[in-house]
Amino acid sequence: MSYALLIDIDKCDGCGGGDEYECQKACQKLHGLPLVKVEKLTATNYTFSENVAEGIYVRRMCQHCEEPTCVSVCPVGAMEKTVAGPVIYHSDRCLGCRYCVMACPFNVPKYEWSSTSPRVRKCTMCYEERTSKGQPTACADACQAEATVFGERDDLIASALKRLNEDKGYVQKIYGMKEAGGTGVLYISKVPFEKLGFVTTLGYEPLPRKTWNVLSKLPDVVSIGGVMLAGIWWMTKRRDEVKAYEDAQKKK
């Protein structure tokens, strides 16, 4: 069982464009974050609805990748992809290297630069508080328009495909179904995703596999390089020996 979120951009109205986003406020309350409307992801704000055009709002948050790059680059296992779906963070293991911050293709994890004991902060899909107990995320629970729905990933994909089939006004694509190997946050929209600020150049192969394809070649590269360096060293040494021998012969 793998949990996910399905976000219908067509249904989201930014909570009427008022002073609060209900999804954001619910997240902030659950995690003890400052209760202020913030228009970006920060170390104290894990989600928001970006007003990308007149009446069009896009939820921004951790995508909870099926094969997360942040997990693959963490040398100490501080980032973990759970069996249930959410990508969570263990602050007690973290070295503060911030590889996860740099590796994320969605630019999600944020570092507590102002803290004396800094951590990496991001959405955890309410894993400890709710989803590990089978409860929906706080943001999905708070969304009265049902623009954000929580459930099993396969069920949400089936529901999204049914919606796309019934209403051809939607872009006939589920963003996150395959991107970068698939994500745990899925989107459907009536506006092309490239016009909404989505990264559309990732391809379908999980990014950690691309990294491994490079790293797996390194032993060969290192071996070949080592042989070449050894050869250069031997030729240089041999040249010096020959020169020393010739100089000695001249002195006789």
- pLDDT tens string 169-208: 999 999 999 999 999 999 999 999 999 999 999 999 998 8
Q: Report the greatest alpha carbon distance in the chain.
A: 101
What confidence category does residue 214 fall into, taking pLDDT thresholds of 50, 70 and 90? Answer: very low
CATH number of 3-205: 3.30.70.20
Phi, psi of 161 (to 5 degrees): -60, -40
Q: With 0.85 as the threshold, say if the pTM is over it.
A: no
Instruction: Return the domain boundaries, the chain.
Output: 3-205, 217-251
Asked if 188 and 163 count as a contact pair (C-beta separation under 8 A), the reply is yes
Q: What is the radius of gyration, based on Cα positions, of the chain?
A: 26
Asked if 7 and 187 count as a contact pair (C-beta separation under 8 A), the reply is yes
**Is pLDDT at 241 greater than 90 in this prediction?**
no
